[in-house]
Structure 1
Amino acid sequence: MGDHDQGHALAGQLLDHRQHLVDQLRVERRGDLVAQQHLGRHGQGAGDGHAKALGLVSVQAGKGVFVQEPTRAEVAGAFAWPFAAQVSAADTFQLRFALEGFACGLAVGVMTAEVLDILEDNVEQKRRELRAGDFEQANRLDFEFHQRILVASGNQAMCALVTSSAEIFLESQKLPFIRPERAQETWQEHRKILKALARHAAGPAQKAMLQHIRSAALRTGIAFITLGD
């Protein structure tokens, strides 16, 4: 009996209906079991968004939802990183560690009440999206949170660097969501950063950002040495 007969979806297969995503999607990838359990709780909308974030499916306009072909890295049990030919995921996290920690410290000195209100709304909205299981929307809010702090820092060179490589940075912020059981940690870390910014405490704000990026990398399975180690 083939995979399809057993209810397994094959790479490249068109899924009949989106509401059948949970039943059909049995691609063996990292975090797949947790993802299936999560999709079963939150239904079709969360299912599509979460499966896309994991790289399990692709949605093609006018054609439907297709199961993605697993890459060699995924077959080996690792996550998918689409920019491997340009830069590694580990190098990207290290760059973010250097840039965003410094930017967060700079932002404290010029942080306005208006920007703090926007960041507070962002953090609260992200909490709601995570509880609803909308990881795609939570990822967008995650990216906006980091972007606003970079802009608030006033360092145009850093902003230009991130803007020119926005897709790579966005992808790195998507990776921690491959472990949905730990997704709330990203919100807790953002809240800690926000509290330090609200106190205008440069040291704690920078430290909270550095811890957040390093923890995000670790949730993805990436560990790197820093000067403080």
Structure 2
Amino acid sequence: MAVTDEAIDRIRQMIVSGRLRPGDRLPREADLAAQLGLSRNSLREAVRALSVLNILTVRQGDGTYVSSLAPDVLMEAVAFVLDLHQDDTIMQAFQVRAILEPAATAMAAGRVDEDALAELHALLDRLGPAPSVEELVANDLEFHRRIAAASGVPLLCSLLDSISGPTVRARIWRGVTQQDAVARTVDEHRSILDALATHDAETARAWATVHIANVTRWLRAAGDPPAPAPRRPPAVRPARIGSDRSAAGRQP
């Protein structure tokens, strides 16, 4: 089990067992991490994931609380998870992105001007060293929108913009559940921008392809049913030494 998944499960067990009830405030981060035997970082990621699912509510400057757990509050999050695992619309959106976006990025490499490059650099710099998942996703959408606009093909830009909607929540969910997803996304954006800055169309296309493939690979794994437990091989009973003396001494 991944560290974040383990942290999520432990908080869930506290709620199911009644140790945490609707409206309760969670203990201080350091205290709860020590109580559950978790690192503060993994606990923080678990809280972020559970807040996306409307199970926890983070109140800035006040603390983190268990939500009302009312059915109508939880159903929106449940619907999202079901969409992620069962509805192939999200996967189709990423598959279309995998076709169109590398082409748009390659075209942008040949047409982007210095002003647009400066704006892209400033956009990435605004993220800072440790952006939240929500900040990253908003920045990610704008980054790709500007690259599509730099391709010089308005229809291509419109097509990509029209399919970004179904992918937003999947991007957020990846950010809060996949380790290093935020840092990896930032690094890939930097690599795409480096290729754009040198007007290297093929390298820009390659990095855009890798960037989307990483998200698609995660999405496919997230939608897969859990693997069955491996079957244990049948026990082999060792032969007893000397159990067949006559055979040992038998002549051909």
TM-score, normalisation: structure 1: 0.65
Contact between 1:101 and 1:206, CA under 8 Å: does it hold in 2?
yes
Within a 5 Å distance, the mapping from 1:17-166 to structure 2 comes to: 17=25, 37-38=40-41, 40=43, 47=47, 51-53=50-52, 55-57=53-55, 65-67=67-69, 68-69=74-75, 71=78, 81=84, 84=87, 87-130=88-131, 134-166=132-164
Moved more, 207-216 or 162-171: 162-171
Q: How much identity, in percent, do the aligned residues show? A: 23
Compute the RMSD of aligned alpha carbons. 4.1
Change (3 A) 1:148 1:184: same
Structure 2 portions without partners, runs of 5+: 1-9, 58-65, 223-252
* Aligned partner letter, 1:167: G
Change (3 A) 1:108 1:72: closer
Residue-pair matches, total: 194
2:120 & 2:182 partners in 1: Cα distance?
19
Partner of 2:203: 204
2:92 & 2:196 partners in 1: Cα distance?
27
Contact between 1:129 and 1:135, CA under 8 Å: does it hold in 2?
no
Change (3 A) 1:58 1:119: farther
1:204 is displaced (CA, Å) by 0.4
Partner of 2:62: none
Change (3 A) 1:23 1:168: farther
Structure 1 portions without partners, runs of 5+: 25-32, 224-229
Question: Which stretches of structure 1, 4 residues or longer, exceed 6 Å deviation after superposition?
Answer: 18-24
Deviations 1:83-112 (A, max 9, x none): 93xx52221211111111000011112111
Contact between 2:105 and 2:204, CA under 8 Å: does it hold in 1?
yes
Deviations 1:28-48 (A, max 9, x none): xxxxx99x8536458xxx955
Contact between 2:29 and 2:40, CA under 8 Å: does it hold in 1?
no
Structure 2 residue 161 is matched with structure 1 residue 167: no
2:143 & 2:201 partners in 1: Cα distance?
17
Change (3 A) 1:195 1:20: same
1:150 & 1:142 partners in 2: Cα distance?
12
1:65 is displaced (CA, Å) by 4.3
1:182 is displaced (CA, Å) by 3.4
* Aligned partner letter, 2:89: S
Change (3 A) 1:116 1:47: farther
Moved more, 143-152 or 158-167: 158-167
Contact between 1:108 and 1:205, CA under 8 Å: does it hold in 2?
yes
1:157 & 1:66 partners in 2: Cα distance?
45
Contact between 2:91 and 2:219, CA under 8 Å: does it hold in 1?
no
Instruction: Name the SS for the 2:199 alignment partner.
Output: coil
Contact between 1:58 and 1:65, CA under 8 Å: does it hold in 2?
yes
1:18 & 1:167 partners in 2: Cα distance?
33
TM-score, normalisation: structure 2: 0.60
1:160 & 1:57 partners in 2: Cα distance?
36
2:126 & 2:221 partners in 1: Cα distance?
28
Instruction: Name the SS for the 2:84 alignment partner.
Output: coil
1:51 & 1:118 partners in 2: Cα distance?
34
Contact between 2:105 and 2:201, CA under 8 Å: does it hold in 1?
yes
Contact between 2:90 and 2:167, CA under 8 Å: does it hold in 1?
no
Change (3 A) 1:122 1:219: farther
1:107 & 1:144 partners in 2: Cα distance?
15
1:56 & 1:80 partners in 2: Cα distance?
16
